[in-house]
Each structure stands twice: as C-alpha cells, then as structure tokens.
Amino acid sequence: MSKQMSHLDDIPSTPGKFKMEKSPFVHNRLRWHSSLAKLTFWSCIFLGLILIFFFRSPSSNPLPQDPSRRSLRTYNWGGPAWEKRVRSSARVRSHNGISVLVTGAAGFVGTHVSAALKRRGDGVLGLDNFNDYYDPSLKRARQALLERSGVFIVEGDINDSALLRKLFEVVAFTHVMHLAAQAGVRYAMENPGSYVHSNIAGLVSLLEVCKSANPQPAIVWASSSSVYGLNTKVPFSEKDRTDQPASLYAATKKAGEEIAHTYNHIYGLSLTGLRFFTVYGPWGRPDMAYFFFTRDILKGKSIPIFEAANHGTVARDFTYIDDIVKGCLAALDTAEKSTGSGGKKKGPAQLRVYNLGNTSPVPVSDLVSILERLLKVNAKRDIMKLPRNGDVQFTHANISLAQRELGYKPSTDLQTGLKKFVRWYLSYYNGGKKAAG
C-alpha cells in the first residue's frame, strides 16, 4: 500500500503544466496532497449522503413500511413433519365428509367456519398470513382455539403459488373455502395496495393453482355486500346493479366476482361467491364499528356515529356469525364438482352468487343503544357527517335466493347477537382490564 502510494506520489498529475512551476516538485506534491485530501473529503460526504438516503428510503426496507407487499415475508413450510400435520388436519373423519382448504383461517369468519367443519367430521386445513392489519395476538388466540380442535393453520400467503401447489400435492382437497382478504371499507384509502395484493392478485394466484389441480376443487369465497355500492333499490337483490362501487374495497370484491366468472368460463371451476352483510359476533374484527364502539364505551372515550345528509339514518343489515357459518356450510354442501382437469375445461360448471344478510337493517345509533344497555355504560356520542371514504348509507339484503337454494335462514337478531359478543368480549379482555387492540 505505502509502496504504491510513494510511486503515485512521484508522478505529476498534469505533466503538461509541470515545467511552468517555479518549484515544480515541492509545489506539485503540495497540490497533489491537497487535491487528494479534497477528493477524500468529498468522497466521504458523497458516500455519507448515499448511505443516509439509502437507509431512509422506504424502498430499501419494504416489509415493515409497505404492508401491501406482505407476501415478501418469508414463511417456513415444508418437510416431512409439516406434511404429516397437513395431512392429518385435512383427513376426513366422517362418512361423506369433504376436505376443505380454508384460507384466512385465523380470521373472524375463517375461524368459525373451520371449527364448524371440523366439528362435523370434515377435513380442514387452514392457511393464513397472520398480517398485522389488526392485532395479530387475536389471530394467534383463534389459532390456538382451532389447534385444540385439531385444525392446523399453515402460515403463508395466498400469493405464494409454490406453497399452494405443495398443499394440493399433499392433499386432494375437494373444496376451498376462500376467506383470506384485505377487509374493511375505510382502510382502502390508507393502503390501497393491500387490497389489490390480497383481493385481486391473491385470488388469481389461488384460482391458478385450483384450475391446475387434479381433481379441481369446488371453491366458495367471500364477496361483500359493499358491491351494491350506490345502488338505491332495496332490498339488495343479486340481480341488482353492482357497477357503482363506493370504495376500492368494494371494487376489488366486484373484480373478484368478474374474475370468478372468467375461471368458471375458461377452466370449468365451480365457484360460489357469498356477499356477506356486516358480519359480527364473538372473536370478531377489532376494526369493525360494533367492536371498537364496545372498547371505547368501556374506556369512556367518545365514539363517532355517522349520519347522512339532513340527519339521515345510516343503517346496516348486521348479520350474526353463526348464521353466516350456516350459509357457508350450505354453500359448500351444495357446490357441484368443478368440471375441468389439468387446466382444461370438460363442460359447463356451476357459477353462483348469494346474499348472506339478516334482512333487517338497524340504524347505527340503535346499535349503540343496545351496547349501552348491555355494557351498562352511557356512550359519549359524537354525531358526525358520514365521511366520503367509501361508506354507503345503508345495506339491506334480499335473501330469497339463498333461502331457496341453500336453505339459508338467519335466526339471530342484533340484540341477541350483541349479547353473545359482549359476553365474549368481557371474558376475552378480562373484564375490560386488558384493552382491546
């Protein structure tokens, strides 16, 4: 190093100018030294700036800062012990049982559906990416609950095609109950990418693997009442227009219905979409109004209650989880087989869409009154204008199609359902001592 330096020191940097200097050697050495120092100095500054930029740039570390790219997380799966667990969880234990892959199994509806299927002896394997859209510890608690009844939840993302293919290699699922999604109407303005990632790209990734599976499974999946968007004709019937979504969430669910049509048409996949109407109940989602209203009423915090223009009522056709589960199971049981094999269609296949609602919309202010009575605490009501962030003024399901074809008959009113929710909430959060996330 020093040898090389001394050699470099002897060579004038600009030989042409050399002769013009009065004391060429000394002067040039000084010049050389000072320019080397300058070069080193500016290089350090430049390097420093690059490093600062690199570490502060969100793209250098996409995982914690960009939740729409959750699939970039790596999950551990595979190996003989893992395959054994997968097989055992998916094993059918009753005569004429089905074997179901439940995506979003650690979610609210996913947990209840998985438990119900397992109870009647069907084979159930869960899949969930345990993202942090809301408190993941609640998802872990649901997972523990399912584990106790023999349901294994594979940790992974529906965008991971290699994982999905592996699951179909290990188990010949007869059905897929696809509930993994980015839910929530208002969050779509904060993180639009996560909706595209889960509800569109994830759905396509799943259907691609299902279409190539041999045998192809029948698929039942969660659409949403939000697809009715700005439709004003009530009650909402499956025949009504769904081309005016009011949120990106609704648009991705509507896109899902169109994508389902395509895969049914080209590949003969049997597909049933269920339009859920504001599902609530024990083990529910903390991002939903009934859940965080409960938390905030208990904390003495004020709760924002939306109203439409001219003090118009905002109402929802709140549907209790047990009724939804019955609808899901009936959809699975009436699903016909897919007709394709090896990615090729052999004949026309079933394509269905059903409303699963309660058929009795309740104003949000009444929901709050019921919670006040059940919690024995007066809410601090903060009445505010319905924000323009995707909410619609009301939903109301016409369920006659589901009644006729699935035998769907909701039987829990909001008062009864909320009573069960509040009992669960108080015991889960230890009498309100542990705060809900």
Ligand X SMILES: O=C(O)[C@H]1O[C@H](OP(=O)(O)OP(=O)(O)OC[C@H]2O[C@@H](n3ccc(=O)[nH]c3=O)[C@H](O)[C@@H]2O)[C@H](O)[C@@H](O)[C@@H]1O
Of 107 and 217, CB closest to ligand X: 107
Sole binder of ligand X in the list 199, 226, 242, 264 (CB under 6 A): 226
Binding mask 378-417 for ligand X (x = CB under 6 A): -------------x--------------------------
Does position 316 bind ligand X by CB under 6 A?
Answer: yes
Closest CA to 238 of 129, 397, 395: 397
Q: For ligand X, which stretch binds (CB under 6 A), given 69-77, 113-121, 179-187, 322-330?
A: 179-187
Does position 304 bind ligand X by CB under 6 A?
Answer: yes
Of 167 and 297, CB closest to ligand X: 297
Does position 246 bind ligand X by CB under 6 A?
Answer: no
Sole binder of ligand X in the list 71, 89, 103, 224 (CB under 6 A): 224
Q: For ligand X, which stretch binds (CB under 6 A), given 31-39, 111-119, 298-306, 424-432?
A: 298-306
Does position 278 bind ligand X by CB under 6 A?
Answer: yes
Q: Would you say 364 and 383 are in contact if contact means Cβ atoms under 8 Å apart? A: no
Sole binder of ligand X in the list 115, 138, 255, 314 (CB under 6 A): 314
Does position 185 bind ligand X by CB under 6 A?
Answer: yes
- Among residues 187, 195, 228, 249, which one is catalytic? 249
Of 82 and 306, CB closest to ligand X: 306
Binding mask 32-71 for ligand X (x = CB under 6 A): ----------------------------------------
Does position 183 bind ligand X by CB under 6 A?
Answer: yes
Sole binder of ligand X in the list 105, 117, 353, 364 (CB under 6 A): 364
Please provide the DSSP assignment of 333-363 as one string: HHPPPP--BTTB--S---EEEEEE--S--EE
Query: Residue 255 and residue 197: Cα distance in Å, rounded?
Result: 13
Q: For ligand X, which stretch binds (CB under 6 A), given 54-62, 149-157, 236-244, 274-282?
A: 274-282
Closest CA to 98 of 76, 124, 59, 66: 124
Q: State the nearest-atom distance from the C-beta of 277 to ligand X, in Å.
A: 5
Does position 305 bind ligand X by CB under 6 A?
Answer: yes
Amino acid letter for position 10: D
195 in catalytic set: no
Of 212 and 278, CB closest to ligand X: 278
Beta strands in 97-235 (DSSP E): 99-103, 123-128, 152-155, 175-178, 218-224
417's CB contacts (< 8 A; 6+ apart) are: 280, 281, 318, 320, 321
Of 306 and 428, CB closest to ligand X: 306
Of 139 and 316, CB closest to ligand X: 316
Sole binder of ligand X in the list 225, 231, 252, 338 (CB under 6 A): 225
Closest CA to 126 of 136, 135, 138, 144: 144
49's CB contacts (< 8 A; 6+ apart) are: none
Closest CA to 293 of 422, 140, 136: 422
Closest CA to 154 of 88, 236, 213: 88
Residue with structure tokens 């050399």?
A: 18
67's CB contacts (< 8 A; 6+ apart) are: 131, 132, 133, 191, 194
Count of residues near ligand X by CB under 6 A: 18
Q: Would you say 124 and 145 are in contact if contact means Cβ atoms under 8 Å apart? A: no
| 208 exposure class (CB count in 10 Å sphere: 0-12, 13-18, 19+) | middle
Does position 288 bind ligand X by CB under 6 A?
Answer: yes
Query: Residue 45 and residue 43: Cα distance in Å, rounded?
Result: 5
Q: Would you say 278 and 316 are in contact if contact means Cβ atoms under 8 Å apart? A: yes
301's CB contacts (< 8 A; 6+ apart) are: 380
Q: For ligand X, which stretch binds (CB under 6 A), given 6-14, 25-33, 301-309, 426-434?
A: 301-309
Sole binder of ligand X in the list 32, 82, 306, 424 (CB under 6 A): 306
Phi (first) and psi of residue 281, to 5 degrees: 150, -175
Sole binder of ligand X in the list 267, 277, 283, 320 (CB under 6 A): 277
Q: State the nearest-atom distance from the C-beta of 212 to ligand X, in Å.
A: 29
Phi (first) and psi of residue 287, to 5 degrees: -85, -5
- The residues binding ligand X (CB under 6 A) are 183-185, 224-226, 276-278, 288-289, 304-306, 314, 316, 364, 391
Catalytically active residues, by annotation: 249
